[in-house]
Amino acid sequence: MNLETAASLGEALGGLAIMATLLFGLRQVMEVNRNRRYEISQTIAQSLENPLVQRGFATFGGVVTVDTGLEELMGLSREQKDATNAVIVLMANHAVMTYHRNLSFDIVYSFYKPYLSLIGPSMRRMMFLTEQGYIMHEKSSVTEEDGMGTFHWVIWLLDRLEGHDKPDEFKPHLNKKDWLP
């Protein structure tokens, strides 16, 4: 084998090594992304399993309605107030993380969409009345212009979730019959 042939062979093998390294790197990136989506899903699932959050969902679904007045909100038990606050804070956190693309909107949608018809309208009502109460309270720093930022993130997320439509995620026991692991 002459020197020129050996150099060509070495160059070809070097190119193959670079391609193999690139393919391995691509596979690693894909694996990291898959693991990240799994961890995000686990985090959201665990936060929604919290008993306080579940009581908040129950309060929004059964106690607070679109017709609830300020006096009725004030009459909620301390536990109900804490539970509804836990849901609002959790959703605000998920909204901010979704907005900054730290959470996948599709994953957030899949977790929250089934709850929206149960909690969405009553959450909006409670947040509106609470914000108005703080605005009217003379010792509060909440103003009409600024409002309560936490509430506004929840409203942002509710708007996005309600405006998004993935019909195949409704009634998965019917729409996903052909799904296989």
DSSP assignment of the chain: --HHHHHHHHHHHHHHHHHHHHHHHHHHHHHHHHHHHHHHHHHHHHHHH-HHHHHHHHHHHHT--TT--HHHHHTS-HHHHHHHHHHHHHHHHHHHHHHTTSS-HHHHHHHHHHHHHHHHHHHHHHHHHHHHHHHH-TT----TTT--HHHHHHHHHHHHHHH---GGGSSHHHHTTT---
Report which of residues 42 and 149 the model is more confident about. 42
Chain segment 56-80, per-residue pLDDT in tens: 999 999 999 999 998 899 999 999 9
| Whether pTM exceeds 0.85 | no
Give the pLDDT band (50/70/90) at residue 20: confident
Q: Residue 169: which pLDDT band, with cuts at 50, 70 and 90?
A: confident
Looking at residues 23-42, what average pLDDT do you find? 84
Tokens read off for 81: 């107030």
**Amino acid (one-letter) located at 65:** T
- Angle, CA 95 vertex, CA 140 and CA 62 arms, to 5°: 75
Mean of all residue pLDDT scores within the chain:
87
Single-letter residue type at 125: R
Can you give the residue ranges of every domain in the chain? 1-39, 50-172
Quick check: 168 pLDDT over 80? no
